[in-house]
Amino acid sequence: STDITIDVPGPLDPTLPIDINRSIHAIDVDATGAGLGWNIGTTYELNGNNRWGFSYHASPEIHATGKIDGPGGITLADEVVVPLPDFAQISGYNRFKGTKFALSYTVQWTDWSKFDELATAGPNISLQKFEWKDTWSYSIGGTYYLSNQWTLRAGYMFDQGAQDEITTIAVPDSNRNWLSAGFSYAPTSDSSIDFGFTYLLGVDVDTKEHHGDQLDDGNYSISSITATTHTDAIIAGIQYSKTF
Mean pLDDT of 47-58: 96
What value does the mean pLDDT of the chain take? 86
In this model, does residue 21 exceed pLDDT 70? no
By the 8 A CB rule, do 141 and 104 touch? yes
Residue 33, CA atoms < 13 Å, CB-side half-sphere: 21
Q: SS3 for 85?
A: coil
Q: Residue 78: its pLDDT value, please?
A: 87
Counting residues of the chain whose pLDDT is more than 90, the rounded percentage is 55
Residue type, 210: H
SS3 73: helix
Per-residue pLDDT band at 26 (split at 50, 70, 90): low
* SS3 assignment, position 21: coil
CA dihedral 157, 162, 165, 167 (to 10 degrees): -100
pLDDT band at 196 (very low <50, low <70, confident <90, very high): very high
Supply the pLDDT for residue 239: 97
Question: What is the Cα–Cα distance from 235 to 123, expressed in whole angstroms?
Answer: 41
List the domain range (segments joined by +) for residue 105: 2-242
Contact 58, 32 (CB under 8 A): no
Give the H/E segment covering residue 101. strand 101-110
Give the CATH number for residue 206.
2.40.160.60
Q: 154-192 pLDDT, tens per residue?
A: 999 999 999 888 887 777 889 999 999 999 999 998 999
- DSSP three-state, residue 96: coil
pLDDT at 30: 86
What is the tally of structural domains in the chain? 1
The contacts found for 112-115 with CB under 8 angstroms, 24 or more apart, are 112/85, 112/162, 114/59, 114/61, 114/83, 114/84, 114/85, 114/86, 115/83, 115/84, 115/85, 115/162
